[in-house]
Amino acid sequence: MMPVQPHRVCVAGASGRMGQMLVEAVIGSGDCVLAGALDRMASPALGLDAGAFAGRHTGVVIGADPVAGLADSRFLIDFTRPEGTIEHLRACVAHGVKLVIGTTGFSEAQKAEIAEASKSIAIMMAPNMSVGVNVTMKLLEMAAKALSTGYDIEVIEAHHRHKVDAPSGTALKMGEVIAAALGRDLKDCAVYAREGVTGERDPSSIGFATVRGGDIVGDHTVLFAGIGERIEITHKSSSRSTYAQGSLRAVRFLAGRSHGLYDMFDVLGLS
């Protein structure tokens, strides 16, 4: 029997908090190997070994050129910024590299470009790679259908002080899942801010509240508030390692696909 070849993975944003967690996860896995590491042009980590932060020698140097970074890779995991991810997407299409996207905050035009690219390469895109978060999404879908009348729905999320987009991509995805279960479009029923005399709450709306502070990795609660009772479904992350492990599950899932756009429900068999 021929030995199974490891999945050759490139990590984008390799010197960032999430990037370092991804590098560690790839190194520690039994079926993946670090084949490339990318970072922004201004990063002080350029030229360093990708495992230097952990005192590990990987032989992979962090660079800023996507073509060079992807030259020996079959997969790219990207948790960077929308503009960086789109640049990497184009390089992946040009070189036939499969892509795992954890970046959030894309514009509609950028989402359309990702969808178009998935006709050529396999892409898994999700605002949250945590297995627990995605099981929570499924629970929210079930709860929304059962609590479709008589309950007001609010999504509350909290993240660290460095997060640049709000609400979080995970919170928005939760809203989308709930809205779809109720036969609504989130664009038409979301309320992102309340201030002053707002009037009574529209019972068909889905509200969002955002907290930013400290080093909170990611907390999400969906409140279904009825008369005489309330149901709260909560997920709390204490480490980014769960996102990294979910990303590797996505790599394994994409290994058997040539093209198409997938999400974590597909990866976990929850669709």
What pLDDT is attached to residue 1?
A: 54
Taken in order of first residue, the domains within the chain and their CATH numbers are: 7-125+240-268 (3.40.50.720), 131-237 (3.30.360.10)
Q: Which residues contact 11 (CB under 8 A, 6 or more apart)?
A: 19, 22, 23, 26, 34, 36, 37, 38, 50, 76, 77
Q: What is the pLDDT of residues 107-157, one digit of tens each?
A: 999 999 999 999 999 999 998 899 999 999 999 999 999 999 999 999 999
Residues labelled catalytic: 159, 163
Say yes or no to pLDDT of 3 above 70.
no
Closest CA to 194 of 185, 186, 205, 183: 205
Q: What is the pLDDT of residues 41-87, one digit of tens each?
A: 999 999 999 999 989 999 999 999 999 999 999 999 999 999 999 99
Say yes or no to pLDDT of 4 above 80.
no
Q: What is the rounded distance in angstroms from the CA atom of residue 251 to the CA atom of residue 230?
A: 38
